[in-house]
Amino acid sequence: MADTAANVLLQPGTKAPDFSLHSTPDQLVKLSDLRGRPVILAFYPADWSPVCSDQMVLYNEMLSEFSAYGAELMGISVDGVWCHEAFAKANKIHFPLLSDFEPKGAVARTYHSYRAAEGVAERSLYVIDGDGVIRWSYLSPVGINPGADGILDALDALGVKGGAA
């Protein structure tokens, strides 16, 4: 089933679908509000799972490297905002975790990053340029942390390092 999803992930050159998702009960993050800078979307299955925890903690440790490109990082799962808040606090996460809770997985579905059989997001990554165009997408096997090398290579390819302070 993952092979089918890999064939349908949104591809480079595609305009990134806009969305608004809650980062807290009273704060919405809208993708189009981030135009002008690169955006990294990290879809992941669930807070508290071992691989997801490792992946989000790794990205948190790399925030300064992503920031050197002027990039904004956002994690997205179908967990609710309260779950995200507890997970972020426990793991000292300092980037937004967006709740694709209701309607469940609507944004993940738009990005072809939803595992309908399990009701969770795929473990997929997108790098979107400042014009809102997807420049890199990657689907990782659900049980494997994809790391950050692909993200850094995609940001390098944008040629924006040092472009934002």
pLDDT one digit per residue (tens) for the chain, 165 residues: 343 444 489 999 999 999 999 999 999 999 999 999 999 999 999 999 999 999 999 999 999 999 999 999 999 999 999 999 999 999 999 999 999 999 999 999 999 999 999 999 999 999 999 999 999 999 999 999 999 999 999 999 998 776 443
**Does any domain span residue 148?**
yes
* pLDDT in the model for residue 6: 43
- Confirm whether 52 is a catalytic residue: yes
**Does any domain span residue 108?**
yes
Number of domain units in the chain: 1
Within 10 angstroms of residue 103's Cβ, the number of other Cβ atoms is: 9
**Does any domain span residue 164?**
no
**Does any domain span residue 27?**
yes
Q: Which residues contact residue 50 at a Cβ distance below 8 angstroms, ignoring those fewer than 6 apart?
A: none
Cβ–Cβ under 8 Å, residues 58 and 126: no
Within 10 angstroms of residue 27's Cβ, the number of other Cβ atoms is: 11
Residue ranges making up the domain that contains 136: 2-158
Q: Structure pTM?
A: 0.93
Catalytic residue among 9, 29, 52, 142: 52
**Does any domain span residue 165?**
no
